[in-house]
Amino acid sequence: MTDWQQHVREALQQSLVVRGGELQSDGEWLAPCPFHKETSGSCYVDVQRSLLHCFGCGKGLRSLSKIAQAFGIGTSVPKGSRRGGGKAPEPVQRSQQAQRPQGCTLTEYAEAKRLPVDFLADLGCSEISYCGARAIRIAYYDVDGTELPPRFRVALHGVGKLRSKKGSRAKIYGLWRLNEAQRASYAIWVEGEERAAKLVYLCMTSRLLDRPVSPLMKAQSSTGKNYVVEQTLRFFPTSAYYALTAMSERALAYSTEPLAHRMLVLYEAVGLHEGFATYLIRSLLSEGRLRYETVEKGPDGLAPRLIEREGPTGLIITTTAFRIHPENETRHISIPSTIPQNRLDGSCTP
């Protein structure tokens, strides 16, 4: 990453804050769209990947300078920058910079990827010294298990974070596992919304915890959000989730379907505005159970009845709405789609 790019990205994030943008995760924002008038933020901006997509008007950009200009940020190149006609650094300085990586330890990499150090070590990752800095040696193997030229992770972020030996040809990681796929007679890969599929998978796994994580898939119509969820659910038994396209106000209270350590899946839940069903969902997510008392008519007249539904239960929602009820929104993690409708080839292909 050049100084110019870093400067523009910092200015862009400041502009997003001023415009009322909300930080979703590292470098990812939801903000009011600069291309049409609106009060709520429907524009997804990934500062690190130089990506913009508006769920409202459908506008999309994949250029850092164009995104910055859309938010009123000047992108003129400061003197001394290598971009444009500015004076470039001396060749000796560039060579010295190229040989001085930021450094990356196995522990730092494990924390960044939320993976155990032992797991990475079992995959053949080891910590070495590379050009005077700490780096990670990533082992590559051929189909027959023969070791191939390794790659080196020399930094956590930025351009050039991965390096290879001079003259070595790039190989696909994981070739040695093809024999396992051949024995199993199938292989599974993800094309398109890889990040969304992984997040939904992890959220499904969290149903076994005391407090499951509930994802909220947001995207405009026909961008494959339901397909991503449906294909991810194929990795789990039907006992792990309960999928619905709609339900009545009190269905959650009266249903006999078990909810403990399961995911409730609601497809195309447009808005989930005020209502008794919304209240029951909030209670189930927050308290981990439902206690609903009602009055029913029996042989002896009206009598109270206490309905108890045991959790904990997670909730997966797909919606075209930019926001759902505020008290429900805070109980989910938002997963915006990053594939514009006109570029969709199939969000998740197993």
Question: Residue 123 half-sphere exposure, CB side, CA atoms within 13 Å?
Answer: 19
| Rounded CA separation 331/212 (Å) | 10
Q: What is the pLDDT of residue 270?
A: 58
pLDDT attached to residue 145: 87
Residue 201, class by beta-carbon neighbours within 10 Å (0-12 exposed, 13-18 middle, 19+ buried)? middle
Residue with tokens 């001396």, as numbered in its chain = 90
Residue 338: what pLDDT? 57
Alpha-carbon span 162 to 136, nearest angstrom: 9
- Alpha-carbon distance 265 to 244, whole Å? 6
Residue 78 token pair: 């400061």
Residue-by-residue DSSP string for 10-58? HHHHHHHHHTT-EEEETTEEEE--TTS--SS--EEEETTTTEEEETTT-
Question: In the prediction, which pLDDT does 250 show?
Answer: 87
Query: The tokens of 92 are what?
Result: 């000796």
What's the CA gap between 52 and 61, in Å, rounded?
5
Q: CA nearest 226: which of 265, 187, 258?
A: 265
Using the CB atoms, write b or e for 301-314: b if 16+ within 10 Å.
eeeeeeeebebbbb
Per-residue pLDDT of the chain (350 residues; tens, 9 = 90+): 577 788 888 888 888 877 777 777 777 888 888 888 776 678 889 988 899 988 878 888 998 888 988 888 865 555 454 444 444 333 333 333 444 678 899 999 999 888 899 999 998 899 998 877 899 999 999 988 898 999 899 888 766 788 888 777 777 888 888 888 888 888 777 767 778 888 999 999 999 999 999 998 888 777 788 888 999 999 999 999 999 888 888 888 888 899 999 999 988 875 465 678 888 888 888 888 888 888 988 888 898 989 888 989 999 988 887 777 777 788 888 887 655 444 434 334 44
Q: How far from chain centre, in Å, is Cα 112? A: 14
Strand partners, 264: 242, 315
Residues 115, 121: Cα–Cα separation, whole Å: 11
DSSP secondary structure letters along 231-299 = HHHTTS-GGGEEEES---TTHHHH--S--TTEEEEETT-----SSHHHHHHHHHHHHSEEEEEEEEEET
pLDDT of 350: 41
* pLDDT at residue 274, as a whole number: 62
One-letter amino acid for residue 202 of the chain: L
State how far the Cα of 228 lies from the Cα of 217, in Å rounded to an integer.
9
Which domains does the chain carry?
3-70 (no CATH), 98-184 (no CATH), 194-343 (3.40.50.300)
Length of the chain: 350
CA angle 28, 29, 31 (to 5 degrees): 165
Contact present, 191 and 346 (Cβ < 8 Å)? yes
State the Cα–Cα distance between residues 49 and 321, nearest whole angstrom.
24
Residue 327 and residue 275: Cα distance in Å, rounded?
A: 12
Torsion over CA: 189, 192, 195, 198 (sign): negative
| CA end-to-end distance (rounded Å), the chain | 34
Is the separation of the CB atoms in 271 and 294 below 8 Å?
no
Say what angle helices 225-233 and 194-205 make with each other, to 10 degrees. Answer: 50
Distance CA(101)–CA(35), nearest Å, equals 39
Please name the residues in contact with 133: beta carbons below 8 A apart, sequence gap of 6 or more: 100, 101, 102, 103, 154
Enter the pTM of the model. Answer: 0.53
Tell me the C-alpha distance between 170 and 173, whole Å. 9
